[in-house]
Amino acid sequence: MYRILIVEDDPGIAEGLRQLMENWGLEAFVARNFQDILGEFRACQPHLVLLDISLPFFNGYYWCGELRKLSRVPILFLSSSGDNMSIVMAVNLGADDFIAKPFDQRVLMAKLQALLRRTYDFSAAAPVLEHRGALLNTGDQTLTFQGERIALTRNEYRILLCLMESRGKVVSREKLMQRLWETDSFVDENTLTVNVNRLRKKLDAAGLTGFITTRVGVGYQVE
């Protein structure tokens, strides 16, 4: 399920947006601390941000710039000002799209779903496995986290796929080696260890610390 962070200081609008997102099967979080939107972002780890321009303390333009230093997660601006200059400023600061208030809910959802589709390559024909905000696309064998693509080798993808298919359960080293052998890749104990360690380093670097845990003498687990 995709997570949406709503940064809107009008309680009525924010609650309406939250209900709209949930009605469409999305998980929605409303920002509360407008002095620390980056903290709200880190806590939520959203797949998309709905960002109002007029906010207390710092405006949406400021927070868009700060978010872009941290992530490439799609940002959809909401604003009561729909003039061309506002749109140009938003896009120049890293926004992916812009919608003026009052907005049609159908238009908003069409824009939001298009951004999610473009960013995460969502396709009904290619199932996507999700865990802790990480999206593993089985169609193009890519891993995406907070809008960033993490490059995987064929063996790394096979290992992660096997673990995410059994998330919450321990997968034995023997089963992992068997899955890799199915692709004509000869893998012994040492090679499997090297591949898992390389995969862990990539996950850690992307912010997915502790994504794969070791169960000594048994195997590995995604939890």
CA distance 151 to 98: 30
What percentage of the chain exceeds 90 in pLDDT?
A: 26
Indicate whether 52 pLDDT > 50.
Answer: yes
What is the model's pLDDT at position 186?
61
Copy the structure tokens of residue 191.
């090679």
CA distance 7 to 60: 9
Helix ranges, 121-188 (H): 154-165, 173-181
Q: H helices then E strands: how many in the chain?
A: 8, 12
Split at pLDDT 50, 70, 90, the class of 123 is very low
Interval 73-101: pLDDT, tens = 899 988 776 566 777 777 777 788 888 88
DSSP-derived letter for residue 185 is: -
Q: What is the mean pLDDT of residues 47-63?
A: 89
Q: What stretch(es) of the chain map to CATH 3.40.50.2300?
A: 3-120
Indicate whether 202 pLDDT > 80.
Answer: yes
Helix ranges, 56-122 (H): 60-70, 84-92, 105-120
Q: What stretch(es) of the chain map to CATH 1.10.10.10?
A: 128-222
Kindly report the CATH class assigned to 3-120: alpha beta
What's the predicted TM-score (pTM) here? 0.56
Q: What is the mean pLDDT of residues 31-43?
A: 90
Interval 126-169: pLDDT, tens = 467 888 888 887 767 789 888 788 888 888 988 998 898 888 88
Residue 35, phi then psi, degrees to nearest 5: -90, -15
Pick the CATH number of 128-222 from 3.20.20.70, 3.30.2040.10, 1.10.3470.10, 1.10.10.10: 1.10.10.10
